[in-house]
Structure 1
Amino acid sequence: MVPDGWVKARLGSVAELQRGFDLPSSQRINGCVPIVSSGGVSGYHSEAKSKAPGVVTGRYGSIGDVFYLEEDYWPLNTSLWVKDFHGNHERFIYYLLSNFDFKKFSDKTGVPGVNRNDLHAVRVWLPPIPEQKKIAQILATWDKAITTTEQLLTNSQQQKKALMQQLLTGKKRLLDKNGVKFSGEWRISILGELGDTYSGLTGKTKDDFGKGKSYIPYINIFRNSRIDLRTLEKVNISSGERQVQAKYGDIFFTTSSETPDEVGMSSVLLNHVDELYLNSFCFGFRLYSFDTLRPEYARFIFRSERVRLAISVMGQGATRYNLSKRQLKKLELNLPSVQEQQKIAEVLSIADQEITALQQKLGRLKQEKKALMQQLLNGKRRVVVDKKNMEVANAFSD
């Protein structure tokens, strides 16, 4: 069903795209004009090639992302920019292209790319100019909320990083349960004296597991400082292949990586589980007791900058960096009392909770905006346009 008042037109007659301009690094002069490549703003120059407002997308290399410029800019030759909006609302065109599936027109070559002539031939639905403006206004409010949340998230992450640097080095001391600042001396401990390592399902990949009848959760990959049981995969493992089970308080380290920054990345199991195993990509470290190092604190200390650097330099190899258990056991840790460890872990856990809440909010905003944008740009959800310029919150008409 055709939306009332809408027309279908070639994209080329709605928004004419043009290839960007060459600008070698040797010819760039420091300035305030953003240089826009297929991946967004990649630098600044003293001269602009295009007037604001502008809409830019990738021509090859990175395609699918669309950028809106509110200042004069220089589009690089890896991009396509809208040379002529043909009287249409610029920000509406930005959302129209943002909702476009560029990958359908990607060249079948090693480097992804799109041809502007192919894009120009695509037919798109176009509402009247007043409706374009209202749609752009509504979606802009979602963009503002997303940008605000992204900034809050960035600030929270930076604050946590600074807090970790202070708390995990003793530069900042917290108060104990009696309201007295911790003051005891920190002590150097050798990791190998605190526990011992154990291996995962050596040589096994997900497709190599046996044909047992029970599906067992196993640790395949971890990206956070705490193992998230909700994301663990389950595989069919025969009883003969089972080795040491992971348990509460175990610390895990990646055994190898293509970069030294990733080798020895750690995560801690802070849940009590019935049965859980490791894949061969990592090994476990089990503390003899929690009298010197608390698992809650280990979660943060092994992700701190100083300890991460100390572990990364242990990685050896040419094409891949491998971590030796023997070398890792030599790692020195400067540890406060377990009481202070618990207090530090509590404070940093609260910071993590705030970050997680913002990440979840940001994800919801992006999903809601995407769903709304699809409805508005195909006319399934109409907006009310009148002379009184109604508030955005009341601007919908199904």
Structure 2
Amino acid sequence: MTIVKISDSTPKLRFREFTIAWQQKKLSDIATFSKGSSLSKSDLSEEGHPCILYGELYTKYNEVITKVFSRTKSKDKKLVMGYKGDVLVPSSGETAIDIACASALEMNEIYLGGDLNIIRPQKNVNGAFLSYELNSARKKDLVRMAQGATVVHLYHSGLREVNLFLPEFKEQEKIASFFSLLDKRIEKQEEKIEQIKLFKKGMMQKIFSQKLRFKGDYEGEFPQWESKSLKSLGTTYTGLSGKTSKDFGVGTAKYITYMNVFANVKAQTTGVERVDLSDGKKQNQVVNGDILFTTSSETPEEVGMASYWGHNTESVYLNSFCFGYRLNTKGVIPEFLAYMLRSEGYRRNITILAQGSTRFNLSKTELLKMEVEIPSILEQEKIVSVLSNIDKKIEKEEEKLIGFIEQKKGLMQQMFI
């Protein structure tokens, strides 16, 4: 397959000390190609030699690999070793966009698993620069090179034909170093968010195990928490029923998506999509204050995730793979209950209720039997306030992270041809 030639030979944005035009080269002109060896998840161990599996390239690694997460004790003589400067590209995956990614090794002597293309650049080509270019200006070319239907592949024959634009080596190094600094800033921001999430997890564990209690007005003690069954506090209702694929993405009604429920303790108004309800069949509407649960998942740990709907939005419904829970008492704050049911102890209890083998489901009847510990309304309000403030901090830091990622994306579009 022929890649369209790009006429312009200089990027839009450039370090001012460099003026020499970039040279167009085929990937085959500046690198050699090989493949990893048969190394699978079953070969991984807690200790042993560092290794990389092909699937990790699009789940764990970005353009540059400075730390390896997996290890193996395999002594197979056919194992292939990767070295600093090598650029790794998956050779198979579920979609073309999945495998259209590259990662440059910044480490020596790393075992490389099967289904990995290894691109070894010449000495006048910086591996990190090559990785950044493949992930930006050449990403569409890699997508076009992918072949297959249910499983797609990237072969050496296709990679060899990819056209690149290369500046002089010093400019390659400076560009790679610049984007490496941006990546470190993104990584630090991700670590900051993770630390806040761990703090929140610890707080929730202490609060809902009652190891941490709050004081009332004038430093007085709040009453003891009371044990109640979910059945005594409210009733359940089902999500959308009788809908087919043609009913979704059209129509005037809205439904809350599965991922919106799964990912958020407070379901977001942005996580809704359209659905056609013109057939006149009665469906259950979601109202402000409802608790939403995921009904099924591939793992028991993901079943029964609770989310709170706190919006006064009309004609909103729930997806087919979730169910709703509506409180019948004013003695429980819905948001408090959502936080509680996402805490570690309650998550363990809900996970036990998941039934199935290849796919796990949660029975509404069994969930309603669960006992929950309910404090006074005033203590609930204090708990919600503390946890909501932590969530606002997380949201603010995540917005910063999105800004850093978008900035990097914009610069990559301007600094490569």
Q: Do Structure 1 and Structure 2 share a fold, with TM-score over 0.5?
A: yes
Measure the CA separation in 2 of the matches of 1:74 and 1:314: 41
2:183 equivalent among 143, 147, 156: 143
Note the alpha carbon deviations across 1:85-134, whole angstroms, 9 max, x for none: 33122321221232232332223154332112321222211111222122
- The equivalent of 1:232 in structure 2 is 272
Task: For residue 181 of structure 1, report the CA deviation from its aligned partner.
Answer: 6.9
- Find the counterpart in structure 1 of residue 234 from structure 2: 195
Asked if 1:2 corresponds to 2:9, the answer is: yes
User: Does 2:42 correspond to 1:15?
Assistant: no
Match of 1:382 in 2: none
In structure 2, C-alpha distance between the alignment counterparts of 1:289 and 1:32, rounded to whole Å: 57
In 1, the alpha carbon distance for the partners of 2:160 and 2:305 equals 47
SS at match of 1:217: strand
Q: Is 1:280 aligned to residue 307 of structure 2?
A: no
Rounded to whole Å, the distance in 1 between the matches of 2:256 and 2:41 is 45
Q: Which amino acid aligns with 2:90?
A: G
Aligned equivalent of 1:71: 107
Aligned to 2:70: 43
* Root-mean-square deviation (Å): 2.9
The answer as to whether partners of 2:89 and 2:117 remain within 8 angstroms in 1 is yes
Q: Is the 8 A contact 2:289 2:309 kept in 1?
A: yes
Does the CA contact (< 8 Å) of 1:58 and 1:65 recur in 2?
A: yes
Q: CA deviation at 1:53?
A: 4.2
- Out of 136, 148, 173, the position equivalent to 1:133 is 173
Q: Which residue of 2 aligns with 1:347?
A: 386
- Other structure's SS at 2:164 match: strand
Q: Deviations over 1:206-257 (max 9, x none)?
A: 6348x9xx82222232231212112212334248423443222111223333
- Alpha-carbon offset, residue 16 of structure 1: 2.6
TM-score computed with the length of structure 2 as normaliser: 0.80
Q: CA deviation at 1:78?
A: 2.6
Q: Distance in 1 between matches of 2:113 and 2:317?
A: 50
Name the CA distance, whole Å, in 2 between partners of 1:45 and 1:263: 32
Residue pair 1:314, 1:324 contacting (<8 A) in 2 also? yes
Q: How does 1:130-209 map to 2 (within 5 A)?
A: 130-178=170-218, 180=219, 182-205=221-244, 207-208=246-247
- C-alpha distance 6-201 of structure 1, shift in aligned 2 (>3 A): closer
The structure-2 alpha-carbon separation of the partners of 1:17 and 1:374, relative to structure 1 and needing over 3 Å to count, comes to farther
Whether contact under 8 Å (1:15, 1:93) holds in the other structure is no
**CA–CA distance in 1 between the matches of 2:188 and 2:175?**
20
* CA distance 1:271–1:374, change in 2 (3 Å): same
Q: Which amino acid aligns with 1:60?
A: S
TM-score of the aligned structures, taking structure 1 as reference length: 0.83
- Counterpart for residue 129 of structure 2: 92
Distance, in Å, in 2 between the alignment partners of 1:87 and 1:186 is: 69
CA distance in structure 1 between the partners assigned to 2:268 and 2:317 by the alignment: 14
Deviation at 1:145, TM superposition (A): 1.0
- Cα distance change on mapping 1:268 and 1:27 into 2, 3 Å: closer
Residues 60 and 139 of structure 1, relative CA distance in 2, 3 Å threshold: same
Greater CA deviation, 95-104 or 145-154?
95-104
Identical aligned pairs, as a percentage?
32
Mapped to 2, the partners of 1:235 and 1:60 lie a distance apart of: 35
**Whole-Å separation in 2 of the counterparts to 1:243 and 1:118:** 51
Among 393, 396, 399, the residue aligned to 1:357: 396
CA separation in 2, counterparts of 1:188 and 1:123? 67
Q: From the superposition, tell whether residues 289 and 240 of structure 1 become closer, same or farther in structure 2 (CA, over 3 Å).
A: same
- Residue 261 (structure 1) aligned with residue 301 (structure 2): yes
Please list every run of 5 or more consecutive structure 1 residues that lacks an aligned counterpart in the other structure: 379-398
Q: How many residues align?
A: 373
Distance in 2 of aligned mates of 1:257 and 1:31: 31
Please give the alpha-carbon distance, in whole angstroms, between the structure 2 residues aligned to 1:345 and 1:329.
23
Gaps of 5+ in 2: 1-7, 11-19, 58-67
Establish whether residue 371 from structure 1 lines up as the match of residue 398 from structure 2. Answer: no
Match of 1:396 in 2: none
- The answer to whether the 8 Å contact 1:205/1:279 transfers is no
- Aligned mate of 1:124, from 164, 171, 177: 164
Counterpart of 1:49 in 2: which secondary structure?
A: strand
Asked if the contact 2:222–2:379 (Cα under 8 Å) also holds between the matched residues in 1, the reply is: no
CA distance in 1, matches of 2:41, 2:245: 46
- The counterpart of 2:118, out of the listed 72, 76, 81, is 81
2:90 corresponds, among 52, 58, 65, to 58
SS in structure 1 of the partner of residue 82 of structure 2: coil
